[in-house]
Amino acid sequence: MKRISLIFGLAGCFSFSAFSQYKGEVDRNHLPALSSHYQPEYTFDKTTDEQAWAAQSHGLHVSFSTTDKLYFRTEVPVQKAVTTWDATGWKGERLNAQLLVWSPDTLNQVRFTLSDLTGAGGNVISREHTSLNMERYVLSNYPYGAKDAVCGETPYKSGYLMPDRFEPFERFDIPGGTVRPVWLSLNIPANTPPGTYSGSIQVNTDKYSTALQVSIRVQPQLLPPPREWSYRLDLWQNPWVVAWHNQLQPWSAEHKALLKKHLQLYADAGGKYITTYAVHSPWSDNSYMIEGGMIEWIKQKNGSWKFDYHIFDEYIEMCMALGIDKAITLYTAIPWANRFRYMDEATGNYQYAYWAPESAAYKTHWHIFLNDLQTHLQQKGWFDKTYLGINENEMKQTLAAIKVIKEHPAKWRITYAGNWHKELDTLLDDYSFLYGNEPAAAELKQRAARGASSTFYVCCNPAKPNNFVFSPPSEGRWISWYSAAVGYDGFLRWAYDAWAEDPVRDARFGSWPAGDCFLVYPGGNSSVRFEKLREGIADFEKIRILKTQALASKDKAVKALWQTFEQHLQRFAAEKDFNEDKIIEDIDKGRSLVDALSDRLGR
């Protein structure tokens, strides 16, 4: 009996230790896989052409290349290296190039040494005006150049790696059989004397070295600083996402310090609109990190309302200090499901009210808010640049909300993003049309004649043109040539920074095409897409300046060149197919004409 008892006792102990549940226990099937080091980009792609790599000579390969193409991590990028970068630009302009580094062998400690650029008479463009960023690969849910992107689920089951995210570096390694694109930018100082400037780039590894040449021709014209650009760039911002990504308390000193660097990219691209939020989570709770309200609605114990503007004020003041100071857009007069969040002072709880634009409650509460907002904006000196924003809402609600706004004594400016609707035309001070659903040329001219601004936008549609990570880079530059050709004042896009779970490695979010939700990356880092968009905006400004000069000129050669340029510009207005090579050819020819006009007018 004792022996039997002992056996049962051991069995009981074994059962307890093997099958008991500990507090906080996680099933091993749910445990994430651990890695020895953080992986800054995914590397699961494979080459489609092994023979191309086999044909490459051993050692270091480096080449300049166009910024209008993407180069894939495991594909041989070019057959013949280009070792000289020749470019032409204005004083104050930013010029860009791509450097490609590749090898069939592993390369260690790849690094670049840039020289100053020297010109005639001892003139110098310091290397301090150049920057280099490696292009990191991010995950896409569509292949390169896809023409079937939609707002719904992608038909592709695979993932695709696209070079897009900029990352500063000192040196890097390259695994054998791979490519590393590097983005080179040169900001020509505004006080640079015209002429040709030459220099070199030394490329070294632990075993190899080579030299590249740079030749930059600076024209006499001056491109003003971005703050003075006329182009109305409107990229919707979500400041809370910067706090979330860095695990910071929103609107803390640390959060605001990071926001300044984050917003500097937008300011340097000529950003004009400050995105602010009158209501909490205006867009159907569909952002990965929800946009909060910048104005707290507070229902006091006596039933009256007060509004706290301190976050609203801090954000606007920060943006304006950076040069983003032409327009404030307040979203939205029609929040998703007509939902308004407020703080109940009696309980300290947040509550929700649902006021449809057609209702008496909406009119009552919106007028209370507008009265208070008007007083606050006038005290800050911001009323004349503030727009009440409405976004893609159905016509019945839109007209009802506008009617309520128009009944208020103050003359509020209203902006709307959505399809062209004739009945909205004269009601809107600022109208952004979805590409492909736009007004006729005569209607656009009528808007301009009465001082109303007009832009266009793309979002998760159309498939082309767009700013997805898989979009040909030339489409980003094409966008502003289209604005110039049609007569728009600028361009709008949602969003500047609506990051999802892992934005530094994965540009996908929900069912939308990869990259639809953001153009810049954490850490205040730019992208191929953002820089191509900026190139087009700078082109737009140059065209505007040259037009004024050409129309005032009595030089017959200038008049003929401008007429040729205007004829060429119509190719952008007529574009329908978006063949990549044709788009690049049209932009290149347009830039050549701009250079020729600049030379002639600069005499």
Distance CA 206, CA 198 (A): 27
CATH code for position 181: 2.60.40.10
User: 28 in a domain, yes or no?
Assistant: no
Q: What is the pLDDT of residues 356-379, one digit of tens each?
A: 999 999 999 999 999 999 999 999
Q: Kindly state the tokens that stand for 383.
A: 């009323």
- Is 230 found in the same domain as 214? no
Over residues 433-441, mean pLDDT: 97
Distance CA 101, CA 80 (A): 13
User: 249 in a domain, yes or no?
Assistant: yes
Q: Are 328 and 382 in contact (CB under 8 A)?
A: yes
Of the candidates 425, 418, 414, the one whose C-alpha atom is nearest the C-alpha of residue 393 is 418
- Is 419 found in the same domain as 284? yes
**In this structure, what are the phi and psi dihedrals at residue 449, rounded to the nearest 5 degrees?**
-65, -30
Between helix 580-601 and helix 556-574 the angle, nearest 10°, is 160
- Is 212 found in the same domain as 238? no
pLDDT of residue 2: 45
User: 11 in a domain, yes or no?
Assistant: no
Distance CA 99, CA 61 (A): 10
Cβ burial, residue 591 (10 Å; 0-12/13-18/19+): middle
Residue 253 CB neighbour total at 10 angstroms: 8
User: 16 in a domain, yes or no?
Assistant: no
* Residue labelled with tokens 């007569």: 487
Total tally of structural domains belonging to the chain: 2
pLDDT of residue 16: 47
User: 6 in a domain, yes or no?
Assistant: no
Altogether, the residues listed in the chain come to a count of: 603
- Is 241 found in the same domain as 124? no
Over the chain, what is the mean pLDDT?
A: 96
Of the candidates 477, 507, 462, the one whose C-alpha atom is nearest the C-alpha of residue 580 is 477
- Among 6-10, 34-38, 59-63, 166-170, which stretch is predicted with the lowest mean pLDDT? 6-10
Per DSSP, the three-state class of 198 is strand
Q: What is the pLDDT of residues 315-331, one digit of tens each?
A: 999 999 999 999 999 99
Q: What is the pLDDT of residues 87-128, one digit of tens each?
A: 999 999 999 999 999 999 999 999 999 999 999 999 999 999
- Is 420 found in the same domain as 353? yes
**In this structure, what are the phi and psi dihedrals at residue 108, rounded to the nearest 5 degrees?**
-115, 145
Over residues 139-159, mean pLDDT: 97
Q: What is the pLDDT of residues 275-291, one digit of tens each?
A: 999 999 999 888 999 99
Of the candidates 180, 167, 175, the one whose C-alpha atom is nearest the C-alpha of residue 63 is 180
- Is 461 found in the same domain as 365? yes
Structural domain span for residue 186: 50-220
Q: What is the pLDDT of residues 407-417, one digit of tens each?
A: 999 999 999 99
CATH code for position 526: 3.20.20
Name residue 165's amino acid.
R
Q: Are 65 and 98 in contact (CB under 8 A)?
A: yes
- Is 182 found in the same domain as 316? no
Over residues 436-453, mean pLDDT: 97
pLDDT of residue 285: 86
Domain boundary among 204, 220, 236: 220
- Is 495 found in the same domain as 429? yes
User: 495 in a domain, yes or no?
Assistant: yes
pLDDT of residue 97: 98
Does residue 564 have a pLDDT over 50? yes
* Residue labelled with tokens 């690969």: 137
Does residue 11 have a pLDDT over 90? no
> H or E stretch including 375?
helix 360-380
Distance CA 592, CA 86 (A): 13
pLDDT of residue 21: 79
Distance CA 321, CA 337 (A): 35
pLDDT of residue 62: 98
- Is 239 found in the same domain as 116? no
Q: What is the pLDDT of residues 463-522, one digit of tens each?
A: 999 999 999 999 999 999 999 999 999 999 999 999 999 999 999 998 999 999 999 999
Asked, as a colleague might, if the bond just before 332 is cis with ω within 30 of 0, I would say yes
pLDDT of residue 136: 98
Alpha-carbon torsion 151, 156, 158, 163, what sign?
negative
Rg (CA), the chain: 28
- DSSP result, 138-186: EEESS-TT-S---SS--S--S-EEEEEEEE--S-EEE-TTEEEEEEEEE
Domain boundary among 220, 239, 257: 220
pLDDT of residue 542: 98
Does residue 63 have a pLDDT over 60? yes
pTM, rounded to two decimals:
0.95
Distance CA 456, CA 490 (A): 7
Q: Are 460 and 516 in contact (CB under 8 A)?
A: yes
Identify the band that residue 35 occupies on the pLDDT scale cut at 50, 70 and 90. Answer: confident
Instruction: Give the C-alpha distances (Å, rounded to integers) separating 418 from 47, 421, 431, 436, 462.
Output: 42, 9, 8, 11, 13
Strands 386-391 and 296-299, by their bridges, are: unpaired
**In this structure, what are the phi and psi dihedrals at residue 192, rounded to the nearest 5 degrees?**
-75, 125
Distance CA 403, CA 406 (A): 5
- Is 390 found in the same domain as 248? yes
pLDDT of residue 75: 98
pLDDT of residue 18: 52
Distance CA 29, CA 42 (A): 23
Over residues 574-593, mean pLDDT: 98
- Is 463 found in the same domain as 342? yes
- Is 326 found in the same domain as 394? yes
Distance CA 32, CA 332 (A): 40
Q: Are 514 and 165 in contact (CB under 8 A)?
A: no
Distance CA 52, CA 177 (A): 10
| Higher-pLDDT residue of 18, 120 | 120
Cβ burial, residue 310 (10 Å; 0-12/13-18/19+): exposed
Which three-class secondary structure string do you get for 88-145? Answer: EEEECCEEEEEEEEEECCCEEEEEEEECCEECHHHCEECHHHEEEEEEEEEEECCCCC
Residue 144 CB neighbour total at 10 angstroms: 17
Distance CA 389, CA 494 (A): 13
User: 515 in a domain, yes or no?
Assistant: yes
Q: Where are the beta strands (DSSP E) in 205-256?
A: 209-222, 232-235
CB-based burial, 2-37: b 16+ in 10 Å, e otherwise:
eeeeeeeeeeeeeeeeeeeeeeeeeeeeeeeeeeee
Strands 124-125 and 232-235, by their bridges, are: unpaired
User: 209 in a domain, yes or no?
Assistant: yes
Asked, as a colleague might, if the bond just before 465 is cis with ω within 30 of 0, I would say yes
**In this structure, what are the phi and psi dihedrals at residue 537, rounded to the nearest 5 degrees?**
-65, -40
Percentage of residues in the chain with pLDDT exceeding 70? 97
pLDDT of residue 286: 87
Domain boundary among 220, 248, 283: 220
Q: Where are the beta strands (DSSP E) in 357-464?
A: 386-391, 413-418, 430-434, 453-458
Over residues 222-228, mean pLDDT: 98
pLDDT of residue 19: 56
